[in-house]
Amino acid sequence: MKHEDSMYEDEHGLKGRALRLADLVTYQEGSVVSRTVVDRKVGTVTLFAFDKGQGLSEHTAPYDALVHVFDGEAQVAIAGREVRVQAGEMVIMPAHQPHSLHATTAFKMMLVMIRS
């Protein structure tokens, strides 16, 4: 069976086994750490670890972006509206809307972007 997305080629050793998201990215003092685990034409899945007080400045994206928090807590601003998300919760940031993230505690998240 052939897959366009190279499903069976795995340079990171992540495919075909159970994984804990929290173990795939580590906190670093005063930093934001990211690790892309899926990168295809149709979208990406990226894991992030934010130290307390760190964040991503306001920006826009051409695609909806789903953020799933799996450790800690963050404040997300979407088009001027503040949303608090914590471990076990998710928020969808709409395409073409300005958004930003700020770590109120150290937090880890998964960002899923699906291109259309």
**Residue 11: per-residue pLDDT:** 52
**What are the pLDDT digits (tens) for 32-83?**
999 999 999 999 999 999 999 999 999 999 999 999 999 999 999 999 999 9
pLDDT of residue 75: 98
Q: Is residue 103 part of a domain?
A: yes
Residue 78 maps to which CATH number?
A: 2.60.120.10
Measured between alpha carbons, how far is 85 from 71 in angstroms, rounded to an integer?
10
pLDDT confidence tier of residue 115, bands split at 50, 70 and 90: confident
Tens digit of each residue's pLDDT (9 = 90 or more) over 3-28: 334 443 455 677 888 888 889 999 99
Total domain count, the chain: 1
Whether residue 78 lies inside any domain: the answer is yes
Q: Which domain holds residue 76?
A: 21-114
Whether this model's pTM surpasses 0.95 = no
Distances (CA, A) of 87 to 22, 27, 96, 98, 109: 11, 15, 26, 23, 9
- Assigned domain for 6 exists: no
- The answer to whether residue 10 is domain-embedded is no
Which residue do the tokens 């990215």 mark?
Answer: 25
